[in-house]
Amino acid sequence: MVTSAAVALVALGVLAAAYVVIRYELGRQLDLQLKQQATLITQQNRGSGPGALYGECSWLAAPACAQLVPADTTAPGQSGLVLPVTGATRRVAAGTLGPYYSNVSLDGRALRMYTQQFPGHLALQVAIRSDTVDQGVRQAGLLLGAVGGAGVLLAAGLGYATSRTSLRPVTRLTATAERIAATRDPAHRIELRPYEARREDEITRLATSFNTMLGELEEAVAAQRRLVADASHELRTPLTALRTNAELLARADRLSAAQRDRAAESLGRQMREVTGMVNDLIELARDEEPQQLVEQVRLDSLVESCVAQARGHWPHTVFTVDVTEVTVPGVPARLARLLSNLLDNAAKFSPAGAMVEVRLARTAGAVDLTVRDHGPGISAEDLPYVFDRFYRSRQARALPGSGLGLAMARQIARAHGADLTAERAEGGGARFRLRFPEA
């Protein structure tokens, strides 16, 4: 409605201006014709006295109706005057008033009259029928009005059709949002026809962005459901064991001292396992690192510190370090957690006495940190899933852990703008590569 009203106002404004211009031009042509006729009559009738020069004005028997009017009202020869004479006419004859145009009526017909001074203290009046001009102006006004009305109707129709076509994705967006609010299911999408999807207007971009947002929302909801399902599955076994040991300790009077010690030790171990798993889940629930804690971190020093701690945790594993001085932006505690997870994973899968190689170096446009072990490696079927939450390969199911360490490591890497990948190393074993884009 607003667009149609704006178009209608512009169209009516243009048509009104056209009407004014047509009316002005026709009147100007008529006045110019009168002035030319007056000049011609003056040249042809010099020396004439008062009276009508062309008297049959109402029937246009002559090109124009003309008469000479004296300044003196008592002068002879005024009985045959046809055109109306006023005081202004006498003043023009006397030379006290300049030439002027006026509209008069004669025998019921409209005339346009021009009055100017004539030699001999006379006033020359020349008149031409103007009803044809007035009729032409009226016809032009009616025609322009009809064109304007048709233009307004056309603008309204095109505006309605255009708005319906342009806002159709918005209608679908509203309906989709209402369906999602009613069903709480983010799987719905706004359906865009092929010709609509090819457009680059703001409405289509809004619909496309809304579909992208719904896709991200659906993925987030699915990931949340998977996390809850996986967590409940993984926690069920240790919680059952905890409950069994707690019930066993509740009947401690029936147990021997050795049995009580074993039950208490098992209970403590299982509590630490559950606590670690819950802490890992809390860490995974964080989507990004707090920006206020980001600082420039000496990655080489952090690697050496983490390797030193890993040597204490895994005394039967040999760690070798080859680092270059590198500084990257990040949160030191989170990067230390990432490195510890990679080192623990490598040591866990390495046989006693095997070597874990840690190397930090600059490459073309990036900083690469690699952790390579000499264990059984990663099978081709397990490689795509090593960073999934709670995923454990066949080789890892007999080892301690919850399957959250590598998932947490990748999440920390992504939060720092880095890329963490896994690959099968040549000669056996697995290699994890952490790549930071160099500023």
Q: What is the pLDDT of residues 130-150, one digit of tens each?
A: 877 888 888 988 998 898 888
For the record, the structure tokens of 341 come out as 């997870």
**Alpha helices for 286-385 (secondary structure H):** 299-313, 332-348
Assign 363 to helix, strand or coil: strand
Q: Which residues pair with 124 in a beta bridge?
A: 68, 116
pLDDT band at 298 (very low <50, low <70, confident <90, very high): very high
pLDDT band at 153 (very low <50, low <70, confident <90, very high): confident
For the stretch 342-384, pLDDT in tens is 998 898 888 888 899 999 998 878 899 999 998 888 888 888 8
Up-side HSE of residue 365: CA atoms within 13 Å toward CB? Answer: 0
Distance CA 280, CA 109 (A): 103
> Would you say residue 429 has pLDDT above 70?
yes
Mean pLDDT value across residues 169-192: 79
pLDDT band at 65 (very low <50, low <70, confident <90, very high): confident
pLDDT of res. 217:
84
pLDDT of res. 46:
79
> Would you say residue 265 has pLDDT above 60?
yes
Mean pLDDT value across residues 315-338: 90
What is the number of residues in the chain?
439
pLDDT of res. 238:
72
pLDDT of res. 403:
67
pLDDT of res. 225:
74
Task: Output the CA torsion 225→231→233→238 (10° steps).
Answer: -170
Percent of the chain beyond pLDDT 70?
87
294 versus 308: the higher-pLDDT residue is 308
pLDDT band at 263 (very low <50, low <70, confident <90, very high): confident
For the record, the structure tokens of 125 come out as 């009046």
Strand pairing class (51-54; 65-70): antiparallel
pLDDT of res. 402:
59
pTM of the model: 0.47
Give, to the nearest 10 degrees, the angle between helix 405-415 and helix 257-285.
30
Lowest mean pLDDT among 1-15, 27-41, 195-209: 195-209
Mean pLDDT value across residues 406-414: 86
> Would you say residue 230 has pLDDT above 80?
no
Q: Which residue has the tokens 């009259």?
A: 113
pLDDT of res. 204:
76
> Would you say residue 267 has pLDDT above 90?
no
pLDDT of res. 431:
92
Assign 333 to helix, strand or coil: helix
Percent of the chain beyond pLDDT 90?
21
Distance CA 166, CA 195 (A): 12
